[in-house]
Chains A and B, each alone.
Chain A
Amino acid sequence: MVQAPEGVEGAGFFATSLEKVVGMARKNSIWPLPFATSCCGIEFMATMGAHYDLARFGSERLSFSPRQADLLMVMGTIAKKMGPVLRQVYEQMAEPRWVLSVGACASSGGIFDTYSVLQGIDRIIPVDVYVPGCPPRPEQIIDGVMKIQRLVETESLRRRDSAEYKAMLNQYGIE
């Protein structure tokens, strides 16, 4: 059961701001797109499994189509060959969208400081939350998801229309 946001409560009515209601609804129904490439993907499978159960956070509905997903979970090494694909997937996602970078490889290239590996996905797409670990334990992935939930809950409804957000995307050459 989700707690109601702050508001004014009386007999037969409850008043709060729209932003808070939307935030609460979004927070508990994040549809993740698992962009699982390697080891972290296996830990993600464990996170989805019965033992750790991501469904407790309303995120059990995986969306394999980027167009219906809210959260892009990048798990595993992204090679340079894969970079354009990842970017295309990000571009196909509808706003509002969040990105969770799981594991050392996705966040920074990890131990693979080599010619073929992209040194962190933040070189091509903006990232909201980084989860460290090689691979992170399922608890850490859940922690990352909870951090994303916090962001989703508190985000202003107008943020995605703001000039700063556009400028940030432009930095990455998106749109």
Chain B
Amino acid sequence: MEEVKQSDQAYHYQEEEKQYSYLNLGPTHPATHGIFQNVLKMDGEIIVDAEPTIGYIHRAFEKLSERRPFNQITPITDRMNYCSAPINNMGWHMTVEKLIQAEIPKRVQYMRVIIMELARITDHLICNAVIGVDTGALTGFVYMFQQRELVYEIYEEICGARLTSNIGRIGGFERDFSPKAWEKIHRFLKEFPKVLKEFENLLERNRIFMDRTIGVGGITGERALEFSFSGPNLRAAGVDYDVRVAKPYSSYEDFDFTIPIGTNGDVYDRFMVRQGEMWQSLSIIEQAIKNLPDGPFHGKVPDFYLPPKEEVYNNMEALIYHFKIVMGETDVPKGEVYHCVEGGNGELGFYLISDGGRTPYRLHMRRPCFIYYQAYPEMIKGSMLSDAILTMSSMNVIAGELDA
């Protein structure tokens, strides 16, 4: 869909009155990995200006959550950043737990860490594999998707779902990890590092890959902070901000890990930061398994955590509680909380105002994608079209999170 703007003076070529062409990239374009539109003003192959339009899958999460009891908001959070749904789920659970000031056992926190880091791996895996695809290496993509299936199998063993997991409950987990789940986690931990290393070898020092990515789509640390970047994109620009370290939640302070950072904030740095984070995540999972404390797999949150099924079937009181919880008729304190977790793309925050009713009065989600995608036009100005595609895939813009 290319359209050339004809000016009256087209024959008299002047330096100031260049002929620009307009390229409509999106909303359904194979190279955009999601649905967003960018109208690019092009001078030949060089991008002069870009006009992004978003909202093509706006689903009104924030309004929807004003109508749903706290338990029922978890499935909505799944569909936000669907590449790392468990992080969203647990971010939300922790927000509610903060509101009701629930005490969560150490074991649950460690189990959460395991799941969240698995989710981070899958998130970064897709992103990096797609960067590979955009530079012309489909091999890595097919190879890595095989590994992602292994993680999905772990989710399935734990909660029954694959992608939009709805994993865990407010207060903990619905059940303990089964022996089969542990077996699968161990299998993944054994097999994945080899594959990841191979993937890394395929691209990391690959001449073509480096030429395509180094110095492309860069942003400075100051500018990234101005634009409220967070997550791997901010770290690639050289700012070592990670919520897991800055404000540890779910016992992250117990683990020993480093934050990989880049220097130029370009595509290559973002790739390397994500790659580094996957290694760190693997190490965190291993530490969590090694030091996993004994204890219950859920906290004492009788207002939110469903009683066990045997109780529900045999005990009147448990049945009433079950009903009350499912209908969302339990007491919730009034208050305002903000809780943030390190999502796949950065600081994922939930700002919850409760007026004591069965639903939140207002729930605002700080969606990292939405906030950093606005810097995209600035990042691609003056670069080539093919680099713009690469910049977008390396920013890991997830349409579900972008549009809410």
Contacts and interface: CB of A to CB of B under 8 A. Distances in A.
In the complex, A touching B (Cβ < 8 A): yes
A35 B32 CA distance: 12
Interface string A114-153: 1111000000000000000011010000000000000000
Contacts of A49: 141-142, 145-146, 149
B82 interface: yes
B300 interface: no
Contact of A51 (B27, B64, B145): B145
Interface in B162-189: 162-164
Contacts, number: 86
A46 B145 CA distance: 7
B60 interface: yes
Interface string B238-277: 0000000000000000000000000000000000000000
A79 B219 CA distance: 32
Nearest to B81: A39
Interface stretch (A7-15, A24-32, A81-89, A163-171): A81-89
A137 B64 CA distance: 25
A112 B164 contact: no
A134 to B, nearest CB: 7
Nearest to B78: A39
Interface residues of B, number: 35
A51 B27 CA distance: 29
A111 to B, nearest CB: 7
A62 B162 CA distance: 24
A79 B60 CA distance: 10
A143 B79 CA distance: 23
A38 interface: yes
A81 B55 contact: yes
B76 A111 contact: yes
Interface in A74-101: 76-79, 81-82, 85, 89
A16 B28 CA distance: 41
A57 interface: no
A77 B57 contact: yes
Contact of B164 (A37, A39, A78): A39
A42 B82 contact: yes
B76 to A, nearest CB: 7
B27 A112 contact: no
B340 interface: no
A50 interface: yes
B69 to A, nearest CB: 14
A109 to B, nearest CB: 9
B148 interface: yes
A79 B55 contact: yes
A111 B68 CA distance: 11
Contacts of A135: 162-164
A172 interface: no
A79 B59 contact: yes
A38 B60 contact: no
A50 B400 contact: no
Contacts of A155: none
A140 B163 CA distance: 14
A46 B83 contact: no
B60 A117 contact: yes
B115 to A, nearest CB: 18
Nearest to A137: B162
B58 interface: yes
B98 interface: no
A38 B79 contact: yes
Contacts of B28: 35, 85, 89
Interface of B: 27-30, 34-35, 55-60, 63-64, 75-76, 78-79, 82-83, 126, 141-143, 145-146, 148-149, 152, 162-164, 399-400, 403
